[in-house]
Amino acid sequence: MSRLSAAAIAAEVRSGRTTAEAVAQDSLVRIAAYDGVQPQTWIERPRAEAVLAAARAVDARVAAGEDLPLAGVPFAVKDNIDVAGLPTTAACPAFAYVPEATATVVARLLAAGAVMMGKTNLDQFATGLVGSRTPYGIPGCVFNRDYVSGGSSSGSAVAVGAGLVAFALGTDTAGSGRVPAAFNGLVGFKPTKGSWSTTGLVPACRSLDCITVFTATAADAALVDSVAAGFDPTDPYSRQLTSETPALGAAYRMGVPRRDQLNYLGDGASERLYDEAIARLAATGATLVEVDIAPLLAAAQLLYAGPWVAERTAAIEDLLRTRPAAVHPVVRAIVQTGFGVTGLEAFKGLYALQDHARAAQALWAQIDVLLLPTAPTIYRIAEVLVEPFALNANLGLYTNFVNLLDMSAIAVPAGYRDNGTGFGVTLIGPAFADPALLDLARRYEEIRPMPAAPDLDTTGIAQTVRLSVVGAHLAGMPLHWQLTSRNARLVARTRTAAAYKLFAMADTTPPKPALIHVGEEDGAAIEVEVYELDLAGFGSFTAEVPAPLAIGTVSLEDGTAVKGFVAEPRALTGAKDITHLGGWRAYIASLA
């Protein structure tokens, strides 16, 4: 499946050679096809009709003469960033809410003509670099699904890497916008802190967080940056651009670490590919300068071993205190430690960071850009599930310090291992060096052809079953956890065929409905949610369904049939007919 170009799509739509609606339809087809491979890429998607309506609105704006830099470009949003009307979960069902306002960055992209295709999976509360810390299923590397996709922006990287959308928003506190780019052969652009608004972002470490973008090329990253960047008075961490590092000339100084400071954790392929990337950049006019990165590595340790872990605790303090079991156990083990951080330790951490920052600032007198491996190696999903802490920490070896030390960065592909997984390098500069880094990344791509990406891994596709739920298992309802605990993925919010009646059963805890097929003459369409489960999850779910409820076949309004809740006749004893309300949510609301 070919990857999409944001710049090419926008040019085609603006010129009238295609339409935003046609592009959106193509993206929907791509997404549907890849659902058979990695449905866990997504947490929430709007209905296809809503996506196509948004695309048609873009076509109308183009026809009216608007110059839209992202006209018709399909994109995805990491599900810790708000999109009005769609749930924001941060990969924690108990935390979920439906925002009234759209995040500033997303709003700017929509205003520029981009079309939002859905919300993507992530390491819960953006805490991780592996993509395995989520109840929504674990996305794997698009080229070899035995290996991690990288996190926390796992779903966003997979959506771009698999060619489902042209770009996707991620976030980056410790490397989450760069590590997944490396593993999936993408560009991962992490702008300077504050240059992209974080209004509408669920914070991880609020003083360090950045919204980022995954693209297929540096030119596309620059295009998105031209729309997304800009001061936002609603964001207290937004920064006015006071100075900008100029583009690097034909000759520039590129810093590389001392050999004894490079640790590939035994991955010989990473070492070879890093050396090849150095040679590639040298061909763009770089003069190599060996530098001491010890202060950077020391600063990196502060992110989790220092007081900044308490900032993660602050972001979800209420949930940790009131419902700690709702937090993924690995995430909880990390974030709960913040309760023990003292004010004394916080100030000591700030003092240590300032020392490291002063040493880091001295680097820029010696070099113009620093080149590092994005991650030293990659791991199988099975490995990080057995050892979730140390292996995750290894992946942040060369990324954790960047935001702490107020640097800008762009990760670019640098080749592929024999197992198909991607390796990348990161170009790092001082704050507000974003344009210079984007330009250098473009030159890096152009100096000679990049190695061809491997084919997508579509082998061993697991069989799945679609299940409609009508009552206590709906999102936000008391038994919804029985679906999320089985990695069920929401496919659609829709209605049944107009052939059913809905009853509120008597004396059930929690309250439950009974859906009865009565035929089109007497029935109505009832609101349902359709989820997808693997065979094992579906089997274990069905085994827990209590009488008089059962799992049968339910007809939907579009003519398709799925498995779903039905009821035996005895369910109607003492039950109340609530068909006229159209669904269980309306009935529950009527009780308030």
Q: What's the count of helices (H) and strands (E) in the chain, helices before strands?
A: 20, 21
- What's the average model confidence in pLDDT over 52-64? 98
Full DSSP string of 88-149:
B-TT-GGG-B--SS--HHHHHHHHTT-EEEEEE--SGGG--SSS---TT---EETTEEEEE-
The arithmetic mean of pLDDT across residues 451-472, rounded, is 85
Report yes or no: 515 and 553 within 8 Å, Cβ to Cβ: no
Q: How far apart are CA 188 and CA 209, in angstroms?
A: 15
Q: Is the pLDDT of residue 448 over 90?
A: no
| Residue 94 burial (10 A CB sphere; 0-12, 13-18, 19+) | middle
Strands (E), 200-343: 210-215, 252-257, 286-291
> By CB neighbour count within 10 A (0-12 exposed, 13-18 middle, 19+ buried), where does 159 fall?
buried
Q: How far apart are CA 123 and CA 136, in angstroms?
A: 10
| d(C-alpha 539, C-alpha 541), whole Å | 5
pTM of the model: 0.81
Query: Residue 558: is its pLDDT beyond 80?
Result: no
Please state the rounded mean pLDDT for residues 284-290: 95
Bridging pattern class, strands 115-120 and 407-416: unpaired
Lowest mean pLDDT of 99-103, 196-200, 528-532, name the range: 528-532
Q: Encode pLDDT of 381-428 as tens digits.
A: 989 988 999 999 999 999 999 999 999 999 999 999 999 999 999 999
The mean pLDDT value of the chain amounts to 94
Mind listing the pLDDT tens digit for each residue in 114-138?
A: 999 999 999 999 999 999 999 888 9
- Rounded to whole angstroms, what are the CA distances from 248 to 226, 369, 439, 456, 476? 19, 9, 8, 35, 52
Share of the chain above pLDDT 90, in %: 87
Residue-wise pLDDT for 482-501, tens only, equals 998 888 888 889 999 999 99
Distance between CA atoms of residues 403 and 409, nearest Å? 9
Residue 345: in which H helix or E strand, if any? helix 343-366
Q: What is the pLDDT of residue 463?
A: 62
Mean pLDDT for the stretch of residues 580-591: 95
**Helix (H), strand (E) at residue 203:** none
Q: Which two tokens stand for residue 228?
A: 């997304």
Q: Are 119 and 43 in contact (CB under 8 A)?
A: yes
Residue 460: pLDDT band by 50, 70, 90 thresholds? low
Q: Is the peptide bond before 99 cis (omega within 30 degrees of 0)?
A: no
The whole-number average pLDDT for the span 36-50 is: 93
Q: Both tokens of residue 389?
A: 């802490």
Q: Are 248 and 442 in contact (CB under 8 A)?
A: no
CATH fold of 464-591: Hypothetical upf0131 protein ytfp (3.10.490)
Query: Per-domain residue ranges for the chain?
Result: 6-293+364-446, 464-591
Residue 142 CA to residue 456 CA, distance in Å, equals 6
Active site residues: 78, 152, 176
Q: DSSP of 493-505, one letter per residue?
A: EEEB-S-EEEEE-
44 strand-pairing partners: 119
- Residue 409 is predicted with a pLDDT of 98
Looking at residue 544, what is its pLDDT?
A: 86
pLDDT digits (tens, 9 = 90+) for 561-583: 889 999 999 999 999 999 999 99
DSSP one-letter code for 286: E
Strand order in the sheet with 561-567: 489-495, 527-534, 464-469, 561-567, 549-555
238: left (phi over 0), alpha (psi -120 to 50) or beta: beta
d(C-alpha 124, C-alpha 327), whole Å: 8
Structure tokens at 184: 């999936």
CA quadruple 30, 33, 38, 43: dihedral, nearest 10 = 60
Residue 411 phi/psi, 5° resolution? -95, 135
- Record the tokens describing residue 132, joined without a space: 């395995």
Instruction: Answer with the residue of higher pLDDT: 483 or 462.
Output: 483
Return the pLDDT at 559: 76
Whether the domain at 6-293+364-446 and the domain at 464-591 fall into the same CATH topology: no
**Residue 451 pLDDT > 90:** no
The answer to whether 496 touches 530, Cβ cutoff 8 Å, is no
Q: Encode 408-437 in three state secondary structure.
A: EEEEEEEEECCCCCEEEEEEEEECCCHHHH
Cα–Cα distance list, 340 to 124, 312, 335, 390, 432 (Å): 21, 13, 10, 21, 35
- Answer yes or no: are the C-beta atoms of 215 and 186 closer than 8 Å: yes
Q: Which amino acid is at 566?
A: V
**What values do phi and psi take at 54, rounded to 5?**
-65, -40
pLDDT band at 1 (very low <50, low <70, confident <90, very high): low
Beta bridge mates, 212: 170
Q: Are 72 and 19 in contact (CB under 8 A)?
A: yes
More confident residue, 536 or 531: 531
User: Stretch 553-568: mean pLDDT, rounded?
Assistant: 88
Alpha-carbon distances of 545 from 244, 504, 542, rounded to whole Å: 61, 17, 5
CB-based contact 497:557 (threshold 8 Å): yes
What percentage of the chain carries pLDDT values higher than 70?
Answer: 99
Q: Per residue in 534-550, pLDDT tens? A: 877 888 899 889 999 99
Q: Is the Cβ–Cβ distance between 338 and 312 less than 8 Å?
A: yes
What is the predicted pLDDT for the residue at 461? 53
Residue 446's pLDDT is what?
A: 94
For position 402, what pLDDT does the model report? 98
Are 204 and 212 spatial neighbours (Cβ–Cβ below 8 Å)?
no
Is residue 98 within 8 A of residue 54, CB to CB? The reply is no
Confidence of residue 450 (pLDDT cuts 50, 70, 90): confident
Q: Among residues 105, 29, 101, which one has the least CA distance to residue 70?
A: 105
Task: Go through the chain and tell me how many residues it has.
Answer: 592
For 45, 148, 375, 495, 533, the CA distances from 529, given in Å and listed in that order, are: 12, 30, 39, 8, 13
- The CATH architecture annotation of domain 6-293+364-446 reads Alpha-Beta Complex (3.90)
Q: Are 401 and 297 in contact (CB under 8 A)?
A: yes
